[in-house]
Amino acid sequence: MKCEPQGIIKLDDINARSLGLVDATPLQLQLILATITTKLVSLVEVALSCLQILIISKSVGVKYVDSKPPNFRTKIVTKSKILGFDPIDIYCARPSNMAQYTFTKYWKQFSLQQQKLKKKTCLGKDKLGFFLYKSEHLVRFTDFNLGKHVEPFFFNILLNNVGFFKERELISPANLAGSYFMNVLVMVS
């Protein structure tokens, strides 16, 4: 469930001038461009970034969505209320006409805003008052290692395959162990 942005390198006349490559021929600029694109992040890229010489342009941003199971999550609590909402809480409050969406599909397809945006088409409003818009980001979810975190790993498999309105619906009544692992086993058999 890992997404990364794509990028392109642009080495046009303005960037070439900024780099001090005023006398470079187009063929030399192509060679420099090929050298930059075949290297991993190096001191050159770091220096260019620090100097704010933009030669790398990203396609879209990556949004992180916390998909930890309940026993791994933390909430900030004050005397009067809980601050903020977990992505699971927000997903569970989605409009009832979006019941077919799984957690991962919902977050990949929709972006939520607290205020209505003028330049975008609003697709609806959830039960918490967030406005829904078509997402323009790649989405990355919490990535658990099966060898170290078995239950969270299977929790994320359920989030990817099962739609629900209450988190407790992820564990079926037939699952006496109450584990996400056993629910996945029941789901595939």
79 Cβ partners below 8 Å, 6+ apart?
none
Residue 81 has pLDDT above 70, yes or no: no
Question: What pLDDT is attached to residue 71?
Answer: 81
Over the stretch 162-180, which tens digit does the pLDDT of each residue have?
999 998 888 888 888 888 9
What is the dihedral sign for C-alpha 24, 25, 29, 31? negative
Percentage of residues in the chain having pLDDT higher than 70: 78
pLDDT band at 37 (very low <50, low <70, confident <90, very high): low
Q: Would you give the distance in Å from CA 46 to the centre of its chain? A: 25
Closest of 112, 123, 61 to residue 86, by C-alpha = 112
Residue 40 has pLDDT above 70, yes or no: no
